[in-house]
Chains A and B, each alone.
Chain A
Amino acid sequence: MKVSFFSTCLVDQLFPQVGASAVRLLRRLGVEVDCDPRQTCCGQPAFNTGYASEARKVASYFIKVYRDVETIVVPSGSCGAMIKCHMLEIFPKGSPQYQEVLAIASKTFELSDFLVSKLGIVETGARFTGTVTYHDSCHQLRELGISEQPRALIRAVEGIQFVEMKNSTRCCGFGGTFSVKFPGISAELGRDKLRWIQESNAEYVIANDVSCLMHLDGLLKRERIPVETMHLAELLVK
């Protein structure tokens, strides 16, 4: 199996260890991974803020990079949803780019979904001692419908203790540019999440989106709460 790994811009710029972990994980599981050095971003920040033509510009570039690959794996539910669900909305129906996005969307997989649904792998051979809880990122849950896959992968980690937090499906409050336009509400929603994480007694909060994790981690650090954030890929290479 050969895949092209789209790290996402956020991982590339801020959390390279997440990308490296995902690639290592895939290779360990016998997947041949290619990382196209030309990759940048899927265009979601512009799209979500209403800048359609800017989003189109970035998406067109994304299409150019990925049009010929067999399978795309992305360690993010949010960017995955942009590629699989929203990219179609910015190109006119029937245009050549629309057709290309259709093809790309069908061969793009969020990492946990790729492992569980496509490869049929639940046991990754990871070992980890600690109590973890899982945060459902919104786009992954509601647009891609991925909820069981990451949980199955976590449960299969040797030595791990997995606890569900209350309201795991409630938004953490990040929301992309929402967190900049409405920073106060965003932070309040994040602090709600922190409360539920703490109540679960987890030492680690796992998610599949570094955007949610960045927001939660920033709040955890500011509030000096001793809970660590971890991307699923980082957990699965332990």
Chain B
Amino acid sequence: MNRIEIDVASALEDRRLQAILFPALQRSVESRDEAVSEVENWEELRDFGRRVKLHTLEKLPFYLEKLEENVVGHGGKVLWAESGEDAVRMILDIARERAVRKVVKSKTMLGEEIHLNQGLEKGGLEVTETDLGEYIVQLSDEVPSHIVTPALHKSRHDVAELFEAKLGMEPTDDVAKLTLTARKVLRRHFLEADLGISGVNFGIAETGTIVVVENEGNARLSTSLPRVHIALMGIEKVIPRTVDLSVFLKLLTRSATGQRITSYVNLISGPKREGELDGPEEFFLILIDNGRSQIYEDKFLRQTLACIRCGACQNICPVFQRLGGHAYGTVYQGPIGSILTPQMFPIAAVEEHPFASSLCGACEETCPVKIEIPKILLRLRQQVQEARNRGIQRFRPERLGMLIWAWVVSSSRRYGIASRWLRRVQSALLRNGRFKLAVPPISAWQKDRDVPGLAPKRFRDYRESEGAEH
């Protein structure tokens, strides 16, 4: 198992990235705030959304089966994939049986999660991303750096250079021209593709309808032009009724992009029916677990699965605003990534991630379904430490420090003695806000900051001698 470390240094030293990140994310936060301020009962909607999600999760098998039943009723086929590899294999099988050569994909984070593109290409298929951001990321052979805006890390200038190199386009900084070029190239792919793959924002159990929310029309084309459509859906994306959708759409689009509604909301119920002119001949819905049922086990942690992937927590997170997505080294990044990833995969692989937060709580405050992200981070931190305590790492300096500290501060006598000793040690080492011979954790701190040091007199002694009475 490879451990993924957060690459702080490259992100902070990348001046180009730093120039893009904060202004872009700040704009997203502002448009979200504005869109939310128009909705009088926003808090009520959040509560409703959360309650519906938690209820659905509690009865997950029931709603999933209902969804399956209704999708099948529309002439669709439903497949259940336990792992990402299973899902990729299923898709390859479907493609092989139908002599598929070219695939168009609309945006799906689940596709990223299961490394779909690599899998399909290994299977001999030609895959094209059709969401503009995803297309940019694919052309530059990268991965998305944000759930909603995958090419967040790129400036318009970067995109122009990329299009110049890869598409032979004339150099330009004109966004409209860049978009038009991509549109022209992609149009051809849409027409030639035999298979369209999409994600799913919501699966409505009551009607067997899947909902795909987008702004570019690429998802509509991907799901209707090719003769086969495969929709990938995480098992947590099911919602009970169509009326619930009205609330979730509001929560999603306003939180994600600050839009009242996106340009396209696709409601898809099965393949083309007799007498219909458009639509795929075959429709498959693949319900993917890939570690989700592990999260389902714990009643408190289960709320992690309520996430509707709006990215608002990423936009507002101070740490994400500095790091961007790539530094996390994971598919899901930022606050939601740091609670999702450690629960879906072995926690030891991403044990640094739950700690990469100042616990400021801005994520929970903005989350449209009120996921208690800081509390979950804290719980995961405990899991990480407990796992470390079981192995050789039980003798790690941090833990010994904590053990000694807890022993000292749980007695006023020990605390008093330690206070006197520390002052003696400090007086030999501290000069003008800096420790000579600094050891961690002080050395980490004083690289950028002056260190105040312990006061000559404690509050307790201060009070007694100064007489706080006056």
Give A residues with C-beta under 8 Å from B.
7, 9, 11-20, 23-24, 27, 33, 35, 37-41, 43, 45-52, 54-55, 57-58, 60-61, 86, 89, 138-139, 142-143, 169-171, 173-190, 192, 214-215, 217-219, 221-222
Contact = CB atoms under 8 A, between A and B. Distances in A.
A189 B453 contact: no
Contact of B362 (A47, A50, A170, A185): A170
B454 A14 contact: yes
A218 B445 contact: yes
B440 A58 contact: no
Given A17-B462, A27-B468, A54 B12 contact: no
B449 A218 contact: yes
Given A20-B462, A50-B354, A217-B452, 13 more contacts: A12-B459, A16-B461, A18-B459, A19-B462, A43-B406, A50-B381, A142-B365, A180-B440, A180-B445, A182-B356, A183-B444, A185-B12, A187-B449
Interface stretch (B111-119, B124-132, B397-405): B397-405
Nearest to A35: B463
Interface stretch (B38-46, B155-163, B407-415): B407-415
Interface size class of B (residues with CB under 8 A): 35 or more
A49 B402 contact: yes
- The majority secondary structure among interface residues of chain B is helix
A181 B354 CA distance: 11
B8 A185 contact: yes
Interface of B: 6, 8-9, 12, 22, 318-319, 322-323, 354-362, 364-365, 375, 378, 380-386, 398-399, 402-403, 405-407, 409-412, 415, 419, 433, 440-441, 444-455, 457-463, 466, 468-470
Nearest to B423: A13
Contacts of A173: 318, 358
Contacts of A14: 452-455
A170 B316 CA distance: 9
Contacts of B399: 51
A140 B134 CA distance: 40
Given A17-B462, A27-B468, A57 B406 contact: yes
A49 B396 CA distance: 14
B450 A218 contact: yes
Given A16-B462, A46-B402, A189-B318, A143 B361 contact: yes
Contacts of A143: 361
B455 A15 contact: yes
Given A46-B406, A49-B381, A142-B364, A178 B357 contact: yes
Q: Which of A185, A215, A219 has the most CB of B within 10 A?
A: A185
B410 A12 contact: no
A174 B319 CA distance: 11
Contact of B449 (A48, A51, A55, A215): A215
Contact of A51 (B385, B410, B451, B462): B385
A138 B385 CA distance: 25
Given A27-B468, A221-B450, A188 B358 contact: no
Contacts of B459: 7, 11-13, 15-16, 18-20
Contacts of A183: 444-445, 447-448
B362 A171 contact: yes
A110 B365 CA distance: 21
A166 to B, nearest CB: 10
Contacts of B403: 54
Contact of A219 (B364, B407, B449): B449
B402 A35 contact: no
22 contacts: A9-B409, A16-B458, A16-B461, A18-B459, A19-B463, A20-B459, A20-B463, A33-B468, A40-B415, A45-B405, A46-B406, A49-B355, A50-B380, A54-B406, A57-B406, A57-B407, A61-B411, A142-B361, A170-B360, A180-B444, A189-B322, A221-B433
B95 to A, nearest CB: 43
A113 B81 CA distance: 53
A9 to B, nearest CB: 7
B455 A41 contact: no
